DNA sequence: CGCATACTTGAAATAGTTCAAAAGACGTGG
DNA sequence: CCACGTCTTTTGAACTATTTCAAGTATGCG
């Protein structure tokens, strides 16, 4: 189960290659990136607001959440990063940290020096484009979250998020046929969909009772993909995966 | 009042230069960009979902909203673009449109061919970085919107948005001492803060009654900047303006 | 003047929150 | 391997912010 840092770089390469064509030299350059492996305990912040960072964080194993802390102690989660995601690739061009990163579960990350990423972008201009594009996809996901939270009811928000995460894990090759690992508490998941933990719990109960999906501390199991797609009004276009145009988005 | 397209390019240059150092050659390259001027009526979509575009849209005059259309006819606005914003700079690296752009008021835009922007990015690698960074700032704004909608009450959301827009208009040199042009209906503003138009109307009434701000069809007037900052829990760090560290964010 | 668009207000309904408590899981040390 | 404390989930009941439904009032424009 223990993933090596080499495997994590390969996962990131796979993610980049989903949206950008890369030649052999570019691929080797990614795979040859240096980095410092760091273990992070669940609940621990590994990037803090206000810092200036000189490295980006590749998620090797576990799960990371990008979030803001509000005055009254509330939190807003604005992104989840799964293994193979460069959680703060944007920091390469915006070093002042405005969003904290926290491990939602025991995780391992690889700290990749900005210097190395800068060098790659300079030497391989098409990699610079690929990096930029990767950030655009993250922004697309965020825009979709905004719409979901602003205009859909609690069950639709959760259903939509589950669809999104399933496809992202599957694109990374990390999902099973009808499940994906998602080691997170209900409290943090609630922070990502803009609900109280209590109400999220009731929504999860409803999804369970209606045989749509189940969640425990470690994973999500999808029982009825079409039902989730319908409930969440899910259309995967915003994820910018290669255009396979399947009839059913989740294709279970 | 009629702004020329040259002036619009100068505005965009100013916006880029806020966050990226640019030398004279780079500045001239931006100012020399070609483009096709287009007038857009209020309520008209000028970029539609599903299209593939070969140009990016610089807002010359007016106001543009990026939005999603939901199944039941509801809308979610995910960004406002003011004059001097390249509303879909991201399209340079992601040509498949996933968010529509609509003029919120009678507007003029400049269609700048991707080919020209590509050429600039290739010839001036630091401009490629500046473009990428500009997209990161837009994503930052979006993340802040997500937090606001997910975790703040209706009045705080609106107050926060007014603070943000004031600073953005002011950075562009388009604000007055205590007001900024914002030609938008309450219906569309409601779509941006995730409220019903009816409730937004009540929130605006409250802001008016409490002498915080007033809105008409054409502009927003801030009556009490500190009050808005406090109500919206506004911290301008996410806008990534040069670090002037004013005591009061709005500095009225 | 009359129609269209935008805004305003009231009252009833409801989705989601808040407060309060208990029950289940899980690891640790005795 | 059992007891204990901690963390997470679950459930109930009262409350409230926001929505929904239903008019009605400005404002501008041809």
Name the residue facing B98 among A71, A129, A237 (closest C-beta). A237
B154 contact to strand D (CB, 7 A limit):
yes
How close does chain B come to A240, measured CA to CA in Å?
A: 8
Q: What pLDDT is recorded for position A71? A: 86
Asked if A66 contacts B137 with a C-beta cutoff of 8 angstroms, the reply is no
B241 Cβ under 8 Å from any chain A Cβ: no
- Please list the helix, strand and coil fractions of chain B in percent, rounded to the nearest 5, in that order: 45, 20, 35
CB nearest B146 (choices: A71, A138, A145): A145
Q: Please state the φ and ψ torsions of residue B51, each to the nearest 5 degrees.
A: -65, 160
pLDDT for residue A4: 86
Partner residue opposite B76 with nearest CB, options A133, A135, A151: A151
Confidence class of residue B5 from pLDDT cuts 50, 70 and 90? confident
**Across A87-105, average pLDDT:** 96
Contact with chain B for residue A187, Cβ under 8 A: no
Enumerate residues 6+ apart whose C-beta is below 8 A from B221. B178, B179, B213, B214, B215
Higher per-residue pLDDT: A232 or A244: A232
Q: Looking at strand C, which nucleotides approach a protein CB closer than 7 A?
A: 5-11, 15-20, 26
Which residues of B fall within a CB distance of 8 Å from A240? Answer: 94, 96, 98
B192-222: pLDDT as tens digits? 999 999 999 999 999 999 999 999 999 999 9
Burial class (CB in 10 A: 0-12, 13-18, 19+), B198: exposed
The whole-number average pLDDT for the span A227-249 is: 86
Tell whether the model's pLDDT for residue A246 goes beyond 70. no
Between positions 140 and 179 of A, the ones with CB within 8 A of B are 140, 142-147, 149-152
Q: Please give, one letter per residue, the 3-state secondary structure of chain A.
A: CCCCHHHHHHHHHHHHHHHCCCCHHHHHHHHCCCCEEEEECCCCEEECCCCECCEEEEEEECCEEEEEECCCCCEEEEEEECCCCECCHHHHCCCECCCEEEECCCEEEEEEEHHHHHHHHHHCHHHHHHHHHHHHHHHHHHHHHHHHHHHCCHHHHHHHHHHHHHHHHHHCCCCCCCEEECCCCHHHHHHHHCCCHHHHHHHHHHHHHCCCEEECCCEEEECCHHHHHHHHCCCHHHHCCCCCCCCCCCCC
**pLDDT of A1 above 60:** no
Provide the pLDDT confidence category of residue A231 given band limits of 50, 70 and 90.
Answer: very high
- Least confident range from A67-71, A243-247, B193-197: namely A243-247
pLDDT mean over A226-243: 94
Of all nucleotides, the one whose C1′ comes closest to residue B214's CA is C7
- pTM higher than 0.85, yes or no? yes
Q: What is the average pLDDT value for chain B, to the nearest integer?
A: 95
pLDDT confidence bin for A73, thresholds 50/70/90: confident
Preferred mutation among B80, B143, B187 to probe A, highest tally of A CBs within 10 A: B143
Chain B residue with minimum CA distance to A123: B125
Q: B41-79: per-residue pLDDT in tens?
A: 999 999 999 999 999 999 999 999 999 999 888 999 999
Q: Specify the range with the lowest mean pLDDT, choosing from A61-75, A233-247, B165-179, B187-201.
A: A233-247
Q: Report the distance separating Cα B89 and Cα B135, nearest Å.
A: 7
Say whether pLDDT at B250 is over 90: no
Cβ-based contacts under 8 A for chains A and B: 126
B233 to chain A, minimum CA–CA distance in Å?
Answer: 7
Contact B77, B191 (CB under 8 A): yes
How far apart (Å, rounded) are the C-alpha atoms in residues B162 and B231? 11
Per-residue pLDDT for B189 more than 90?
yes
Q: What is the mean pLDDT of residues B159-179?
A: 97
B237 → closest Cβ in A98, A135, A142: A98
- Residue A142 distance to chain B (closest CA, Å): 7
Residue A58: partners with Cβ closer than 8 Å, 6 or more residues away: A8, A9, A12, A35, A84, A85, A86, A87, A109, A110, A111, A112
Percent of chain A whose predicted confidence (pLDDT) is above 90: 92
| B135 CB within 8 Å of a chain A CB | yes
Q: Return the pLDDT at A250.
A: 76
A201 contact to strand D (CB, 7 A limit): yes
**Percent of chain B surpassing pLDDT 90:** 92
């Amino acid at each position: 189960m223990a993933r090596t840092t080499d495997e994590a770089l390969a996962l990131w390469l796979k993610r980049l290659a989903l949206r950008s064509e890369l030649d052999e030299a570019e691929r080797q350059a990614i795979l040859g990136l240096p980095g410092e492996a760091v273990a992070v305990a669940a609940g621990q912040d590994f990037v803090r607001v206000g810092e200036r960072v000189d490295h980006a964080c590749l998620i090797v194993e576990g799960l990371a959440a990008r979030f803001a802390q509000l005055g009254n102690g509330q939190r807003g989660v604005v992104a989840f990063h799964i293994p193979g995601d460069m959680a703060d690739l944007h920091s390469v061009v915006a070093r002042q940290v405005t969003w904290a990163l926290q491990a939602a579960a025991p995780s391992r990350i690889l700290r990749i020096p900005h210097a190395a990423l800068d060098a790659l972008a300079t030497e391989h201009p098409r990699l610079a484009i690929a990096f930029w594009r990767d950030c655009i996809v993250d922004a697309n996901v965020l825009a979709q979250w905004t719409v979901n939270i602003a205009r859909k009811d609690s069950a639709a928000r959760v259903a939509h998020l589950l669809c999104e995460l399933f496809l992202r894990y599957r694109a990374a090759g990390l999902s099973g046929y009808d499940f994906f690992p998602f080691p997170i508490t209900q409290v943090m998941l609630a922070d990502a969909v803009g609900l109280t933990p209590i109400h999220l719990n009731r929504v999860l109960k409803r999804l369970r009772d209606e045989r749509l999906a189940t969640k425990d501390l470690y994973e999500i199991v999808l029982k009825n993909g079409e039902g989730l797609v319908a409930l969440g009004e899910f259309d995967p276009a915003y994820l910018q995966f290669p255009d396979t145009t399947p009839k059913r988005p989740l294709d279970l």
